[in-house]
Structure 1
């Protein structure tokens, strides 16, 4: 089964970028099924890559391999083994028992995200190709990790672009096996830098927890001692717990989800942290930041970790305004010498643009600020040199002069 590209549209594949858009396709076999494996050919018929086919998505093909090799169970076994070895080499498990095991294109597995939470795997499939091979991949994961229990969280909106329905539930094993530590409510407790966090596998964001922020949470803790901290978009309190555990004077955690804040308070109890130094506040972060400004409140440290404002470049302009708004307000609320930990996980906002947005916010706030550190995702979220889109998490640590 073949797809032939328009003349000149093979350049991205020659640079080993794994996506082919619909506009690049000159001719495709008429009987291609959703998720089928196809050969990508140049306009003159030369083999370029082997990929999965999606008849609906604008990303019409995603490359499995640039080599002329079969895509089968043993192919996925090699990719999974390589991903496991990479995590072992980076010693990601030296500080945690929860980390990303498969990270999509950067592990040569487009459409697949697999996170390990102790002795449970959570799998997310987002493309026609990953759905096609999901059962095979699940079998290989059990064989190569020895973990018997896999829960599926393929319930993300991006599946709609592939013509796929949301799916969530047990993929392998059971949820009542005592080896997983799972309760009947699909919660478990993980360890991170000697702290404990409850994870809601069934209803939590992403696969249950923001594993990509692990190192950045630790960095917040290293600077938190004696500071009044404001944690915005706090979710279940990862940054808040690290700040409190490392001697923050006070922590105010803000989120729009009452359920997330309830789990945050449970995490405070779980870690025997001083509840009197912590306050939860439910509400819209944008509105609350303005109220804090109007009330002349101030903080020594502010954390901004908002949701994805710009999933694609098409949303960048609107998202830029939102990022500037919250960063401008944060700069106004920071005391002199205060620290801003600000992040963007939006694929449509690259690192250079994000820095420009934060700089513009500081200028409009009338403050001098210095970047003292650039932050990104952890080593269990690797980035292929040929797939810069994999570097989705951008972080800046700024100090207000």
Structure 2
């Protein structure tokens, strides 16, 4: 490195250098040979600070944020040696992130519905160059989650950059509600807390609740107690795909959470929709959302373990009728059956079982919408599980669509962790 850089330096292994050259932004604990002070100022590295990453021979690889307590020791934010990681740098990144959402979602709203950017992911961590930061927009509220010490230190810089960017583009934003209560923060030595980000000089934003609209469907969201940041936005266009084929059908929405797939099916003209979830609280919220949209007359809600529930429907035709069947469109949106590579085989058996159960309930001509939301259970593994399920159920499938997460959750080539949702629609033939 010919120029004197202002940041401390992390000297890394050849393995780390190869991964960075391939596009991956992480340097793991065992790949850091040494931490050296800034060649320009002599400043030593501290937890959460900005560091340059270089090879032992001096080749510059990138600049990132140091996490001394994490197995992911450095997360890159740029590979451009001309960048200075200052306020202007983060404001550019915030502007690029919003520019991207406006481009890929700004013109896709349903006729007469709200803009698709009214509810969307604004920042998707490494995919937008903000490692450890997730920011979702629900109408006039941004909800953020910080999972890394580097991004925690940058909150006073990043939060104003996001607010100024959106407000400067004419978006009415009350404030940022921080849901920094995720378990992963403990791995970085960070405390757990929630509350409004204290915007200097701003008025009290009020209660952190909102009625959000997606695909023209309204949802009453409690941003304090809900899962993740409040709602699962990544299925936005997959829900629309189900809505497109739901007219006149009897729909079974499994793992329904607060009912977004079922509500979209009902809004699309389904004859009847049964939502099933193991959480009574989720079923109650789904029922409330049905009433909010005037769809309660065509929807029903059952609190049950989905695996046991489907077995009961298969075994008892009368129970099937009582629940609103027979069903000719079944949606499977299960939670991730695995969050680690070592459990992939067990997860595959779970996906195979649940899809087999659904296929045994569907008639010829019926439709199955099924998905996996685990990076480790990738598209090929999901397809294999569904293929085995179809073989075991003695049915043949015709693929209608293969989809992924919505584009506000961008997939960056070279960072496989950014691709975590796969969604398939089939017809039984």
Shared fold, TM over 0.5: yes
The aligned counterpart of 2:144 is 123
Q: Which residue of 1 aligns with 2:374?
A: 346
**Structure 1 unaligned regions, length at least 5:** none
Instruction: Measure how far apart 1:263 and its partner are.
Output: 1.4
Please point out which of 144, 152, 159 is paired with 2:185: 159
Give CA deviations for 1:64-93 in whole Å, capped at 9, x if unaligned: 110122212111100000011111112347
Greater mean deviation of Cα atoms: 82-91 or 151-160: 151-160
Task: Give RMSD over aligned pairs.
Answer: 2.0
In the alignment, is residue 379 of structure 1 matched against residue 400 of structure 2?
Answer: no
Q: Does 1:113 align with 2:134?
A: yes
2:329 is aligned to 301
Contact 1:3 1:25 in 2 (8 A): yes
Matched, 1:14 2:14: no
SS at structure 1 position matched to 2:184:
helix
> Does structure 1 residue 394 correspond to structure 2 residue 422?
yes
For 1:279, the equivalent position in structure 2 comes to 300
Q: Which runs of 5+ in 2 are unaligned?
A: 1-7, 38-43, 110-114, 168-172, 321-325
Contact 2:23 2:413 (C-alpha < 8 Å) held by counterparts = no
Partner of residue 249 from structure 2, selected from 220, 223, 227: 227
CA distance in 2, matches of 1:249, 1:213: 22
> Do the aligned residues in 2 keep the contact of 1:314 with 1:348 (CA within 8 Å)?
no
Aligned residues: 395
Tell me, yes or no, if structure 1 residue 5 matches structure 2 residue 5.
no
Q: Output one character per residue of 1:117-148: Cα deviation in whole Å (capped at 9) or x when no partner.
A: 11111111112222121221112112222234
Structure 1 CA distance, aligned partners of 2:122 and 2:407? 11
Matches within 5 A, 1:2-401: 2-29=9-36, 32-68=45-81, 69-92=83-106, 94=109, 95-96=115-116, 97-146=118-167, 147-172=173-198, 184=207, 186-273=208-295, 275-296=296-317, 297=320, 298-401=326-429
Quote the Cα distance in structure 2 between the aligned partners of 1:76 and 1:246.
41
| Local SS of the residue matching 2:14 | coil
Cα pair distance change 1:43/1:314, threshold 3 Å: farther
Corresponding residue SS for 2:241: helix
Gap change, CA 1:228 and 1:132, over 3 Å in 2: same
| Residue 63 (structure 1) shift | 0.5
Higher alpha-carbon deviation: 287-296 or 155-164 = 155-164
State how far apart, in whole Å, the 2-side matches of 1:164 and 1:308 are: 25
User: Aligned equivalents of 1:91 and 1:214: distance in 2?
Assistant: 11
Moved over 3 A (4+): 29-32, 91-96
Deviations 1:211-253 (A, max 9, x none): 1111111111111111111101101110111111121111110
Cα distance per residue 1:135-182 (max 9 Å; x no partner): 2111211222223411011222232333333322111459x979x7x6
